[in-house]
Amino acid sequence: MSDDEREEKELDLSSAEVVTKYKTAAEIVNKALKLVISECKPKAKIVDICEKGDSYIREQTGNVYKNVKRKIERGVAFPTCLSVNNVVCHFSPLASDEAVLEEGDILKIDMACHIDGFIAVVAHTHVLQEGPVTGRAADVIAAANTAAEVALRLVRPGKKNKDVSDAIQKVAAAYDCKIVEGVLSHQMKQFVIDGNKVVLSLSNPDTRVDEAEFEENEVYAIDIVTSTGDGKPKLLDEKQTTIYKRAVDKSYHLKMKASRFIFSEISQKFPIMPFSARALEEKRARLGLVECVNHELLQPYPVLHEKPGDFVAHIKFTVLLMPNGSDRITTHPLQELQPTKTIDDPDIKAWLALGTKTKKKGGGKKKKGRLEEHVVAIVLLFLVLHHASVLLHRTASFAHVKFQRYLYRMAQQIMLLGCMHR
What pLDDT shows up at residue 69?
Answer: 85
pLDDT digits (tens, 9 = 90+) for 368-413: 445 455 555 555 555 555 555 555 555 445 455 555 665 556 655 5
- What is the percent of the chain with per-residue pLDDT over 70, rounded to a whole number? 82
Supply the CATH classification number for the domain 16-241+302-353: 3.90.230.10
How many CB atoms are closer than 10 A to CB 7? 10
DSSP assigned state of 63: T
- The pTM for the full model equals 0.83
pLDDT digits (tens, 9 = 90+) for 188-208: 999 999 999 999 988 766 777
Q: How far is CA 360 from the centre of its chain?
A: 25
Q: How far apart are CA 275 and CA 268, in angstroms?
A: 12
Nearest to 225 by CA among 121, 314, 326, 159: 314
Query: In 182-335, which ranges are E strands?
Result: 184-188, 198-200, 219-227, 234-235, 243-246, 275-276, 298-301, 304-305, 312-322, 325-328
Look at strands 243-246 and 275-276 and give their pairing: antiparallel
pLDDT digits (tens, 9 = 90+) for 58-97: 999 999 998 888 889 999 999 999 999 999 999 999 999 9
Q: Tell me the fold of 242-301.
A: Arc Repressor Mutant, subunit A (1.10.10)
Q: How far apart are CA 113 and CA 54, in angstroms?
A: 9
* Phi-psi group of 235: left, alpha or beta (phi > 0 → left; psi -120 to 50 → alpha; rest → beta): beta
Q: How far apart are CA 195 and CA 193, in angstroms?
A: 6
**Contact between 247 and 298 (Cβ < 8 Å):** yes
Q: How far apart are CA 33 and CA 420, in angstroms?
A: 51
Higher local confidence (pLDDT), 319 or 402: 319
Question: Does position 218 have pLDDT exceeding 80, yes or no?
Answer: yes
Phi then psi for residue 284, to 5 deg, are -65, -35
Task: List the chain domain ranges.
Answer: 16-241+302-353, 242-301
Long-range contacts of the stretch 268-273 (C-beta < 8 A, 24+): 270/245, 270/246, 271/246, 272/117, 272/191, 272/245, 272/246, 272/248, 273/75, 273/76, 273/77, 273/78, 273/114, 273/191, 273/193, 273/245
**Contact between 61 and 73 (Cβ < 8 Å):** no
